[in-house]
């Protein structure tokens, strides 16, 4: 069975969404990102993942895979018939990688990471100064599209849905981009996306109570 190390509402939520959309059972291990402890046994998370970051996907053979873009594509490829990622060699495969990279660098690391983690106000201000251009780019792409890539839900949509949820908590009002707000609303009513968010929202309330 696959195992996923996660922190509630962190970027690992996209991996949970992918697993649930694929109908893949997994064992989930909650990690405290500040203390680097695995909460179920107080184990050292850095012994599992020297980077100290989620997601970490433990494969059936015991190998460990990190970084959202890689983890999401791996999960999608376990169930190729579901189309959670375009097939290798298909032109849309590179569009998927393009969006995973954009979300990871421009939205996740470029804005969300400094906003929630940095103490330096100048760094936060710099991130805020760039975010509207990135969000506007995503909104323009989705103006006449239901999904990011092709005509069906892919793991990139799960990753973007997570990022947009946190953008709202970071003070970015999606209402100024109606196409993007509508996109997030569509993603949130997908049964597995809604369920994954619900699980992690409750876990977040538990660990921050």
Domains and CATH numbers, the chain: 2-83 (3.40.30.10), 91-191 (1.20.1050.10)
Give me the mean pLDDT over the 162-185 stretch.
88
Residue pair 27/4 in contact by the 8 Å Cβ criterion: yes
Question: What is the pLDDT confidence band of residue 49, given thresholds at 50, 70 and 90?
Answer: very high
Predicted TM-score (pTM) of this structure = 0.93
**Burial class of residue 6 (count of CB atoms within 10 Å of its CB; 0-12, 13-18, 19+):** buried
Question: What is the pLDDT confidence band of residue 41, given thresholds at 50, 70 and 90?
Answer: very high
Residue pair 138/145 in contact by the 8 Å Cβ criterion: no
pLDDT above 70 covers a percentage of the chain that reads: 90
Between strands 64-66 and 56-58, the pairing is antiparallel
CA–CA dist 93, 112 (Å, integer): 26
pLDDT above 90 covers a percentage of the chain that reads: 75
Least confident of 19-33, 101-115, 118-132: 118-132
Give me the mean pLDDT over the 147-168 stretch.
94
Give me the mean pLDDT over the 67-72 stretch.
97
pLDDT value, residue 110: 66
């Amino acid at each position: 069975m696959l195992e996923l190390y996660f922190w509630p509402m962190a970027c690992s939520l996209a991996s949970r969404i992918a697993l649930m959309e694929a109908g893949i059972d997994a064992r989930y291990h909650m990690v405290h990102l500040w203390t680097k402890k695995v909460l179920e046994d107080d184990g050292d998370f850095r012994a599992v993942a020297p980077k100290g970051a989620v997601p970490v996907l433990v494969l059936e053979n015991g190998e460990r895979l990190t970084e959202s873009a890689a983890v999401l594509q791996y999960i999608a490829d376990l169930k190729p018939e579901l189309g959670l990622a375009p097939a290798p060699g298909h032109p849309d495969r590179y569009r998927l990688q393009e969006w995973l990279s954009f979300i990871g660098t421009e939205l996740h690391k470029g804005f969300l990471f400094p906003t929630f983690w940095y103490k330096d106000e100048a760094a936060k201000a710099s991130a805020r100064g760039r975010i509207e251009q990135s969000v506007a780019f995503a909104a323009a792409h989705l103006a006449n599209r239901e999904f990011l890539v092709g005509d069906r839900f892919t793991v990139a949509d799960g990753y973007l849905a997570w990022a947009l949820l946190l953008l709202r908590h970071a003070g970015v009002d999606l209402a100024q981009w109606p196409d993007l707000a509508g996109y997030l609303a569509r993603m949130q009513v997908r049964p597995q996306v809604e369920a994954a968010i619900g699980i992690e929202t409750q876990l977040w309330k538990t660990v921050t109570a």
